[in-house]
Structure 1
Amino acid sequence: MKARGTWQGMLTVFRFNWPLYLAAGVVLLAALAGIFLLSMPWLKLSCAAMAAGAAYFIFVSLGVSHLVYDRSDLYRWNWFQRALPGMRPQRIVVCHSGFDEVSEALKEQLVPGDCVVLDHYDPALLTEPSIHKARRLFPPTPGTLDAPFDRWPVEAGSADAIFGLLAIHEFRSVEERARWFAEARRCLKPGGRIVIAEHLRDPANFLAFGPGFLHFHSAANWRRCWEMAGLRAADEFPVTPWIRFFVIVAP
């Protein structure tokens, strides 16, 4: 598998969300021009505030994206030791919502006997523009199976580990995510584990992404989803202040 580039994660975030960064750049330039061209103090102050806000969004959100996706343990995989302690999964299921950045690496790191990659992408259901851009730019890898988020072409009780990494938040309602967890439970072997990683709707992500943090869900919201499916958390831990892993098991 090709090694990740030093700036790959940050550039991917920019590529999927470039209209937002373009708009922020236009606001920044216009506000800077206003500071120098306008004469009224309150207008200069307003422009300075606008410039500060636009610059903060551009540089902080991209800087945090670089720390999370390029500099942290997220794609260095040392978290396996905690998420799957002592396990050598023979069959894994990898779920994504239109952008698969992990299945090849998971197969390389875990060397399972079988890896099923499920694509839950549904343009009628998923509303975020960035996921549609991702799908156009990065088609599914060969062998990926199209699968509704709550009806998988996977045998019951057949998976040692199921992964949903930075993908399941795309389903916007509690009920949809609970149905995803219920289907994961159906496919899980006794003693198996469901591993999800997500940004959370919390202060750290608000400071990093501003109003964009509303696209994420709170830890309590996630807990409600898997408990509705009759599951419980065996462990949870952060990878950076902006990403949290949840390890879910059947009682």
Structure 2
Amino acid sequence: METLRKPFQGVTNIIRFNWHFYILSLLFLCALFFLKIVLPENYSPYLLILIVTIFITTASSLLVSFFVYDCTDLYELNWIKNTDENLKIVNINAGFDEISAVLKHKFKNAEFSIFDFYNPKTHTEVSIKRARKVYPNFPETIEISTNKIPLKTESVDKIFLFFAAHEIRKDAERIIFFKELHRILKPNGEIYVTEHLRNLPNFLAYNIGFFHFLPKNSWLKTFISASLNIKLKQKKTPFITTFTLQKNGITP
């Protein structure tokens, strides 16, 4: 499928939405260089180690982001089989929708619902606020709360959560949300949850930034509490995981 994204869009968005981190890193580097000049030479090795460490961690996060978001087919969703069936598809975002256009291109005959559960009072990431200004939601997007999805029980074939569900930081709220997903999902339907995990590859790539991601055990607890099975777990590079979920009692 022809890509719907621009070159360097991923890494550009990372910088645009998180520019305060990079400004702080630059200022810290400038301060360290200044100290290296004015302090006695016996401090130089320690300052140099700090300078190199900050530079490497900042550069590595950008390089990994460029690789993941701009050099792979992540946003083409090639792991989903093309189908001409008249499916009911739901895409749910946390204030930043990157895949509705791709899904509509891929499932031309499907009936779509697009939901946004972003709540500025509880989902306080400044990067989301900036993203919403740059990329407004689709006009048909419906704002919802995480405890209520305005669809009938067992009415949806496929549900997509693309880098969205981790923004629900409280475990109890996340479990309630996934129970709602379970409710609206058809008996043979599937939920696709794509996320970074709080694991070693993401720590090496993003340093302390990996704390924004959830560990695998947290996701497993959420899925089990919502009576959902993991049908399939796919790795899109060591940094990205997609869980395909289905209701308990469904045989893969």
TM-score normalised per structure 2: 0.92
Q: Which runs of 5+ in 1 are unaligned?
A: none
Structure 1 residue 44 corresponds to structure 2 residue 55: no
Structure 1 residue 28 corresponds to structure 2 residue 29: yes
Structure 1 residue 191 corresponds to structure 2 residue 188: yes
* 1:78 aligned partner: 78
Shift of 1:34: 3.2
Structure 2 residue identity aligned to 1:63: L
Evaluate the alpha carbon distance shift between residue 89 and residue 204 of structure 1 in structure 2; reply closer, same or farther with a 3 A threshold: farther
- 2:187 is paired with a residue whose SS is strand
Equivalences for residues 116-135 of structure 1 within 5 A: 116-135=113-132
- 2:76 is paired with a residue whose SS is coil
Task: Report if aligned partners of 2:202, 2:210 keep a CA contact under 8 Å in 1.
Answer: yes
Task: Report if aligned partners of 2:84, 2:109 keep a CA contact under 8 Å in 1.
Answer: no
Pairwise CA RMSD: 1.8
Counterpart of 1:165 (choices 154, 162, 165) is 162
Provide runs of 4+ in structure 1 moved above 6 Å.
none
Counterpart of 2:218 (choices 218, 221, 226) is 221
- 1:160 is paired with a residue whose SS is strand
Task: Report if aligned partners of 1:25, 1:54 keep a CA contact under 8 Å in 2.
Answer: no
Percent of matched pairs sharing the same residue: 33
Q: Distance in 1 between matches of 2:225 and 2:100?
A: 27
- 1:80 is paired with a residue whose SS is coil
Task: Report if aligned partners of 2:95, 2:118 keep a CA contact under 8 Å in 1.
Answer: yes
Shift of 1:87: 8.8
* 2:64 aligned partner: 64
Task: Report if aligned partners of 1:89, 1:160 keep a CA contact under 8 Å in 2.
Answer: no
Q: Distance in 1 between matches of 2:216 and 2:110?
A: 33
Q: How many aligned residue pairs are there?
A: 247
- 1:31 is paired with a residue whose SS is helix
Evaluate the alpha carbon distance shift between residue 88 and residue 56 of structure 1 in structure 2; reply closer, same or farther with a 3 A threshold: farther
Shift of 1:58: 1.9
Structure 2 residue identity aligned to 1:59: A
Q: Which runs of 5+ in 2 are unaligned?
A: none
Structure 1 residue 149 corresponds to structure 2 residue 143: no
Q: Distance in 1 between matches of 2:112 and 2:231?
A: 23
Task: Report if aligned partners of 1:92, 1:112 keep a CA contact under 8 Å in 2.
Answer: no
Task: Report if aligned partners of 2:76, 2:102 keep a CA contact under 8 Å in 1.
Answer: no
Shift of 1:112: 3.9
Evaluate the alpha carbon distance shift between residue 224 and residue 37 of structure 1 in structure 2; reply closer, same or farther with a 3 A threshold: same
Task: Report if aligned partners of 1:73, 1:79 keep a CA contact under 8 Å in 2.
Answer: no
Residues 21-80 of structure 1, C-alpha deviation per residue, up to 9 Å, x if partnerless? Answer: 111011122223433443331x21222122112212221111111111111221122111
Task: Report if aligned partners of 1:91, 1:112 keep a CA contact under 8 Å in 2.
Answer: no
